Structure 1
Amino acid sequence: MAKSIKDLNLKGKRVFIRVDFNVPVKGGVVKDDTRIVEAMKTINYAKGQGAKVILASHLGRPKGEKNPDYSLAPVAQYVSEKFFPVLFVSDCIGETVADAVAEMKDGEVALLENLRFYKGEEKNDPEFVKALAANADVYINDAFGTCHRKHASTYGMAELIADKAAGFLVEKEIQYFSQLVKNPARPFGAIVGGAKVSDKIGVIKSLLELADNIFVGGAMAYTFLKYQGFTVGTSLVEDDQLNVVEEILAVAKKKQVKIFLPLDHVVAAEFNGAPVACDGQNIADGFMGLDIGPKTAELYIHELNRCKTILWNGPMGVFENPSFAEGTFSIARALGAAEGIVVVGGGDSVAAVNQAGVANMIDHISTGGGASLEFIEFGSLPGIDILG
């Protein structure tokens, strides 16, 4: 188990906190501050302990080049206006940083420029790691969404710095996902949606070892239904994954894991076409499935209400379009009212519980889509393991 930030003496120390401030910025304005708010507990704790707090993050994909479109300056300004003064440092390594940190007083906060302005960040380049670590006495990882990456700021630094720990956000993620993979209250139901079976093979195979019930939605359901001999019209299907579906269903049968597939659908002649109710599992030629139907939602919700642990990753349909959103939102509302422990991971599912207005009723909403899936698949993550 990783050490906690509470286990370390921070007073007067240069405390490097890897945060996830990869937030949507348009026209120099922060559009969604969820990730910033999530990091505040750790930042405020370090401030209160008298640390010199050095925040570092990536933003977008600048591909190792300095690009003003991906600058963290607007984020520093946002934090300064909404929370507390933050010094923005126009680089993340070198003399500019060293000089700025040398001037800092205990309890002050600085935000470094985008880590991915250097190729060394994603390559975990030893020289870049050394340059980052030169301005830190203590290393804290509070960016769960990047813990599955062996990058300089999420892995390399933790190899170099002896005083290291998880921030409160990463601790909370570890607590919930460890419980899911080690000791879930049963029955354990997993809802898996999204477009492609191929994106979720690893996690589905892991869930076959962990869950009692798996509820399939989204376009990936049509690959399962096609394998079972149903007609799927022009729905998105991965023909090259039919053998994988065969394997998944065989393992599920052997392990007595029940896999639920849609009983009915909402379909359309084209992607943004008029919605048509499809009462059975077969979809007629010329139509594509774009959401689960009401019978499916009713069945899934009935079975989920019997579960003591529920994981949700991936929408039930194209919920960005109101015509095909009801399946996803009905599941979201049911999870908000569920009595079991509910964990939601993955950007689309998180967006759905927010839009359905039930986010504050969910036990845990993960800040890392890919990271949460890899935690379920592998039982831990490199950025957490390296914290010792």
Structure 2
Amino acid sequence: MMSLFHITTRRDKSWLAADQHTASSTPPAQTTASLTLALTIQRGDFTLQLNNSLPLQGVTALFGRSGCGKTTMLRAIAGLDRHANAQVQFADTVWQQGNTFVPVHQRRIGMVFQESSLLPHLTVEQNLLYGFSRLTKDTDIALQPEQVIHLLELTPLLQQAPEQLSGGQRQRVALGRALLSQPQLLLLDEPLASLDQQSRSEILPFLQRIASQTGIPMLLVSHQLDDVVKLADQLVLMQHGHIHSQGPLPQQLLQPELAAIGAMSLLHAKNHGSTDHLLQLSIGQQPLQLPAPQHGDTASYSPTSYRLRIQARDVALSLTPLSYSSVSNQLQVSISGFNPAPHPAETLVHLTLEGQPLQALLTKQSVERLGLQLGQQLYAQIKAVALD
């Protein structure tokens, strides 16, 4: 089968995710338009009230506690539920306003839910082609079945029945079916929630591939911050039926509301290859290294950059570089702020590393002992094994 994309096999490392610019051929152009929402939905004591715009580029994660309105918002966007006085506009196209209501099958949306909902009497191949074969003649075909099968590594599964598949395999088929509907937008409602940890680790690289190599904007509903950090470009933090804040993921991770879950940072690092099984990376002009992924395709797959997820508790600070230390990653940073931590004995120190935000979780005693102040220059020690 011929494919538009040159795909190399990837396996998940919990501490390392390739950044989203590694396709060997040019993906479809992404729109810089937005999805505009204005709606109020009342259900018993709960009210979802939105008057916001979401970017139609990359992966936007809708994050928040269960019951905050994430799925209700997604269903309104999809047109699965119709609400009076709601306004939904995709780029220049009005999906709902006044008497105008575009039904779900006309919104060019691909949807994947917690359960794959595959048709049990059809094979994997028949499930994949179910919607594709029903597209109208004037539909622009951006993704062919061969491309999607290759993208999601589904060839060995084509003749199997859904009941023969693992949970992760069923979700891959559901993703493929959604892609073959030629969507302008992918809506993913907790697509990993029903999977065990091994299946979650298997499906995450495929979601990364879709995001980086198709150019289709994605809205991802999740209450797992680790999944969000591995996938998202933008984060929308929802609380009590409102959008509390939204913006680029690295900046959103600084929100105090996320500290209770586990304060962390996302850094983008440039790849300079590997030496002695250690990745040689850089952030700005500063080098750092960490163990290279151990899988068979390392030689053929060499992304230009990486996303590094760093727990705040794994960052230590010193006023000067440490000469006699096993920690090789000692990066010059400056203090940009302080925030209370969930534990009363601790403080979150906000740092700037080559223009990127980094957080360190220290005891208040350490902050006082070092005399840390806003704008101060110092060094952050990050163990290579602690770079998630």
TM (norm. structure 2) is: 0.28
Structure with the bigger RCO (C-alpha within 8 Å, sep 6+) is 2
| Higher share of residues assigned strand | 2
Q: What TM-score, normalized by structure 1, do the two folds share?
A: 0.28
